[in-house]
Structure 1
Amino acid sequence: MNAQGGPESRTALDPRLAWRPAGSRDLDAWADLIARTAAVERPVWFERRAELEQILGSKNNPAAENTVLGFDPQGFARAYARIMKNRDGAKAIGLGCVDPEWQESGIGTGLLAWAEQRTRERFAEDTASSADSGGPGTPAQVPKLRLYMEHQHQHQAALFDRAGFTVVRYFNEMHRPLGGTLPQTVLDPRFSLVTFGPELRESVRLAHNDVFRDHWGSEPRDDEAWGLVVDDPLARPDLSGVVLDQPTGTVAGYQLATHDADGAVVRGFREGYTELLGVRREFRGRGIAQALLADAMHRFAASGMDTASLDVDSENPTGALGLYLKMGYTVVNRSMAWDKDLEPAESPTDG
């Protein structure tokens, strides 16, 4: 496999830049490129060096095959893209950026073409790998590439639209000030609320896969994918809570939190962010989600934070948006998912 994808994607990459897969020697330049772009575009979240190190260690999505980084003649990183995909998953997700000084020059279009071609290859590889394993084989799927963007980044919207992507879902970023009185909730005595820790890592992963099995766009997380959440450099287990059903020891619900200290400097407030919140079906309607959110607010406030925040699918089937509004959250930003169905690759590329 050529790390820069098949002939179509290699041709699309702008010849003004020297392209190669991201490696450990590129960490500083890669992180600096993303930070420079973020300083201009001011996204809510962007990848930091420690997160890029995680990406380089991925077994499911090896950087040597699934990233591309472009350098100018002076050796500065000016653009990058990567895709990630679960084996046998229904979609690949693309990420990347172009240095603001090099935007509107066709580089982003070339990166999208690279991501599309690599997505086709990944789907073909997964189908072939499943067949080679001796099992029945995975039915061929239409390759799908998904991209995410924040509402204010209209230059990205124009690029995605020209490339044939379509908005398929909207998400709301919500904030809740932590000054003043915070909500108090009381759980049924059969439940206990404890702090998340390593001993709960696997049971909460299984609970999460159960909770989100019917949510739009969600796919089961294996241990590596779960590690991207719980081992994230911004993860704060001390601000995260788990509700246990005491008679059975089952995880009934969970709230996993993060805090970005560097982001607080840029955004002007300290934010406790609920990365994941879920309650198992058999335990819904018993105040568990409210208790977890209230607990999070108290933990955030005690840690000196100003704001509790989270993101929610605008069409969440559990009525989560209504719950968050009742608990004092308000919508402050919007983002969207864009999809494109791709023609399948003729066969896996083997270089």
Structure 2
Amino acid sequence: MPTPVIDPDDVARSSAPAPLAERAQAPAVLVPPPDGGGLVWRPLTQADGAALVSLVSRIEDADNPPYRTSAEETLEYFHHSHRWSALGAWEADRLVAFGFVRVRHGDTVKVRAFCSGGVTPERRGQGLGGALLDWQIGRARQMLAESEREAPARIVVHVDDDMEVLAGQLRRRGFEPRRWYSQLRRDLSLPIPDVRLDRPLSVEPWTPEIDDAVRRAHNKAFGDQWGSQPHTPETWAEGRTHHAPSWSFVALDRSSDRAQVAGYLMSSRYDQDWPALGWSEGYTEILGVLPDWRGKHVATALLTRAMRAYADDGMQYAGLDVDADNPTGATALFMNLGYERTRGSAMYTIEI
């Protein structure tokens, strides 16, 4: 019996993933929850920003998480750096529940739909949260299908450790915990190590002029990290409301006429969090070292320089967030510098 001849192109076609528009399994029509019980459901617009800020504040005052979302951060939900869609439940002229779905324009490796929302405390236990979550999943599938990209995709919800009700709702709808994160802090009253880099490396203040070089360096440093996406200038500038320039630093290699970014540390100042946390802190938002300079104590030099800047401005702690599965050994580095875990969170996803 002759051996069949298999066309390699046929194999490639059969193994290629279906288009995202198919994989997303988006509903053709998405009906919002029915009005009733004194509630009216309608899409949110930028004109509803003040009502959203008020609702987020009421939710956090009742739940007392160890952070507070500033008005500026809340209004970033409406930012043009991502496509967004939002639904709200209104009781007369008062917003009592909301759900957002956001798909970032810059995603290329994996297209992500981020879901977030909340229900005012006095309206909980009435099914609003579950109804919003069902709407968000359907809307996320629609927005992913509309993205005109063929990359893998996921629907994402971030869950703090104590949000057991939300975690249960997500599991029942097909979400699974995919990644875990730890919030760490370091007491700045303890001695801060003196770390000096060998020439031609030096740690220098961040400046607006070097910011785009740092963005390009970040894309290289995190190119092989799980879930990392390349930043465009627009997405890199997103979320800078609380950026602290005087707490941010760059490690430069000046071995040639043109300095190269070897590492970088970007900090934020979240004053509104401190009463809820119970302490003041300088927050390390992003820390990265490029492959050619790893093993040369660049990260330690950046962290200790930032610690001194935080302490000089009267901060009690240095804070940061770390991926529990970070492959670079970052967690061990932080622990060796005196950081301690305070709380955690998980990323729940539906993979598409």
* Length-normalised TM-score, structure 2: 0.85
Per the alignment, residue 157 of structure 1 pairs with 167
Which of 239, 244, 248 is equivalent to 1:236?
A: 244
Residue 139 in 1 paired to residue 150 in 2? yes
CA-based RMSD of the aligned residues comes to: 2.0
Contact 2:119 2:129 in 1 (8 A): yes
**Pair 1:192–1:290, CA change in 2 (3 A):** same
Contact 1:84 1:92 in 2 (8 A): yes
Residue 80 in 1 paired to residue 103 in 2? no
**Counterparts of residues 1-351 of structure 1 (less than 5 Å):** 9-12=30-33, 15-16=36-37, 17-61=39-83, 63=84, 66-72=85-91, 74-87=92-105, 88=108, 89-127=110-148, 138-139=149-150, 141=152, 143-229=153-239, 232-247=240-255, 248-341=258-351
Identity %: 30
Contact 2:33 2:41 in 1 (8 A): no
**CA distance in 2: counterparts of 1:57 and 1:175, whole angstroms:** 30
Bigger-Rg structure (1/2): 2
Contact 2:175 2:350 in 1 (8 A): yes
Shift of 1:314: 0.4
Gaps of 5+ in 2: 1-25
**CA distance in 2: counterparts of 1:13 and 1:253, whole angstroms:** 52
**CA distance in 2: counterparts of 1:57 and 1:146, whole angstroms:** 18
Say how many residue pairs are matched: 321
**Pair 1:48–1:18, CA change in 2 (3 A):** farther
Gaps of 5+ in 1: 128-137, 343-351
Shift of 1:44: 3.6
**CA distance in 1: counterparts of 2:173 and 2:197, whole angstroms:** 50
1:251-292 CA-partner distances (Å, limit 9, x unpaired)? 111111111112112222111111110001111000000001
* Length-normalised TM-score, structure 1: 0.86
**CA distance in 1: counterparts of 2:190 and 2:63, whole angstroms:** 33
**Pair 1:175–1:140, CA change in 2 (3 A):** closer
Contact 2:182 2:342 in 1 (8 A): yes
Moved more, 37-46 or 192-201: 37-46
SS in 2 for 1:139: coil
Contact 2:178 2:346 in 1 (8 A): yes
